[in-house]
Amino acid sequence: MNARQNAIEFVGTQTSPNGRGDFRNTSLTELYASHVFTESVQKERLPAEVFESLQQTVKRGGGLDPSIAPAVAAAMRDWAMERGATHYSHWFQPMTGETAEKHDSFLTPAGDLKAIAKFSGNELVRGESDASSFPSGGLRATFEARGYTAWDPSSPAFILENPNGATLVIPTMFVSWTGDSLDQKTPMLRSLDVLNRQALRLLRLFGNETASRVECTLGVEQEYFLVDRQIALQRPDLLVCGRTLFGARPPKGQELDDNYFGAIPERVLAFMTEVEFELMRLGVPIKTRHNEAAPGQFELAPTFETTNLALDHQMLVMQFLRQVARRHGFLCLLHEKPFAGVNGSGKHNNWSIGTDTGENLLNPGDTPESNLQFLVFCSAVCRAVHRYSKLLRLSAASPQNDFRLGAAEAPPAIMSIYLGKDLTDILDFIADGSAPADYPHEDDAERAIPMPILRRFTRHAGDRNRTSPFAFTGNKFEFRAVGSSQNSAAAVTIINTIVAESLDFAASRIEEGSAQGKEFRAVVRELLREMIREYRPVLFNGDNYSMEWVEEAAERGLPNLKDTVDCLPVYTEEESVALFGKYGVMNETELHSRQEIMAENYCTIRNIEASAMLRIAQTMIFPAVLRHKANILPALTSITQKKVLSELDVKIDLLIQGIDELKKALAGVNAQKNVMERARHYRDSVLKGMYALRVIVDNLEMMTDDELWPLPKYMELLFIR
């Protein structure tokens, strides 16, 4: 047997789940957030005036009073050390797509070979890191190294345990010495502030004087694949690229629709249980777990939280999925398309806005046709998506997600909105000049569904559309285009900013009408008609996967940015620079840097993939095919049998040719003048060569002796648990 078959045999001997700990006797209520410096812990440990000042900052967005930092730091240190923490770390989200952390000990020498535990207010509020060692898109040269991590009080500190201790983790922002953001969190927090200001301004016009803050809420559904680690270790492409660069389709994939919501395998369920245990201790409110549509694919989803907390938590979700998978003998794949021919993985972002008094501003109520406030807020979101659809598409762009968007399970690259028939009809009714209150509202009896045993079973007012990239789902919008490995902060930053601009527009129109002495409701109806007529082209309730929609979308004038390279120029378009600059979310320099980072990232990932492909093809596939040819050659006697050899020889020649063509394409990168040209070359030439080489190798997989084929096959990767 070869190494691949040995790995498969080893997995077959595993009968019990590994991992650490039995959680069946753990009280979930006591477990939840037990490792978090929560509001209740703060209230217990901080002086009353310090606690009130800190809560003022967290809940109302006020500036932090620096004088309270020493007291907070002391309480945080004592609480953490009581739970075994020996170090603290500023935890931030640089432009790598991952998190970053540097651990510092609490212990400080005190003379006479003694030490004391020390953690000052200054150490809590500000840390320092080498800014030139993280992607900066030209913001920082190698010799310009100073960068600052700044405490984010709105996301509570927590403790991460390890086998030999624990670390106090403090969520922070990350900025350069010049004050430019080098992370995902800083622009996102700015976007929350501007959304709050514009939403409150609009609410005041509707007579709401009680709300003091508008919060954005988020629920992030995380999809992922699990493959057995022993088998995956035989796949260099999975280890280096996170996806399979080669692999013929198996006899069975997801055609039978028998995976979605199926019984969870025992070993996988043990993994899920431990992931939930780890996350619940950190206050991540995990709600849902299930099999996804593809074999070997699963989903985990928390309940809704305030956005900043939800975004920090989704980074922890990805971290623990990877860590716990290793303890259970799995490799967790967060790549958007690790396997060709089966579903890829997304990260669906359920986004909504509400007040600090508990009002969901996207809740239509029982009679949405007469709920003017809801109609204005909903229309503001729709107008934002229509007006800034290229920015929204950009927020989901990545070289990994390019393989997923537009495939059978993901929304296309065309940004559109699903509102459902009822709400769309209401908006059309208004746009055509009718009074909202005159809309013929459907009563509950019309929504009744006959069911045995149950006397009353009613359907929702609107259906769901899983093909839509931006769908209204009752009291929130679900942005489905973001990829499973991406940090959702980029998407949320853009959604918050473009919606804030639309709320600004709506508030200004109402203020202008009121200043002219017009009746309020008449002004609002006029505003709604204007906005609905503007964003009508982006509303689509049909099948977003169909080619007919692609053609229709083009007729409507909707942009179709098919991949990351098409998206890159959007960062620095005049409209983008003006929008983010107007609201102080990102300046022109920060936008240029993100464009540069994304372009470099695209080139680097494609180079890694192409280089790995060449190495695998030359050192694993080619020798295996030659051995196969040598083994069968003596047995071929008849003319019919020799036709097999002739076909194999043709495939081997094509393999050699494909390798040479990909090498030439890679060499051509050096002739490109700048990073944008290199990105286009990788897409148009290198990626084309990779596709061609894959077709050849996948054909050879179907012809080569199974015992000689060096790479675990799709059948083994997808179905062995």
Q: Between 307-327 and 185-205, two packed helices, what is the crossing angle to 10 degrees? A: 140
DSSP secondary-structure letter at 296? T
10-residue averages of pLDDT along the chain (721 residues): 66 56 68 94 95 88 86 96 95 94 87 78 92 84 85 96 91 93 96 97 96 95 96 95 96 85 92 94 94 94 94 97 95 96 93 95 88 96 98 96 77 90 90 71 63 68 81 94 96 98 98 94 94 96 90 95 96 97 97 96 97 98 95 78 85 97 95 93 97 97 94 93 80
Q: Phi first, then psi: what are they for 411, rounded to 5°? A: -65, 155
In whole angstroms, give the CA distance from residue 465 to residue 417. Answer: 10
Element (DSSP H or E) covering residue 122: helix 121-125
Domain at 600-719: CATH architecture: Up-down Bundle (1.20)
What CATH class is the domain 32-183? alpha beta
pLDDT (0 to 100) of residue 378: 97
CATH number of 191-245+257-586: 3.30.590.10
Asked whether the CA dihedral 8, 706, 695, 604 is positive or negative, the reply is: positive
Spell out the domain ranges in the chain: 32-183, 191-245+257-586, 600-719
Q: Phi first, then psi: what are they for 383, rounded to 5°? A: -60, -40
pLDDT (0 to 100) of residue 576: 98
Asked whether the CA dihedral 403, 404, 409, 415 is positive or negative, the reply is: negative
646: CB partners within 8 A, 6+ apart = none
SS3 299: strand
Please report, as a single letter, which amino acid is at residue 75: A
Q: Which pTM value belongs to this model?
A: 0.94
Compute CA distances 364 → 369, 375, 659, whole Å.
8, 8, 58
pLDDT (0 to 100) of residue 30: 82
**Residues 168/159, Cβ–Cβ less than 8 Å:** yes
Residue from 369, 377, 346, 347 nearest 475 by CA = 377
295: CB partners within 8 A, 6+ apart = 252, 253, 254, 259, 342, 718, 719
Q: Residue-wise over 39-60: b if at least 16 C-beta within 10 A, else e?
A: eebbeebbeeebbebbbeebee
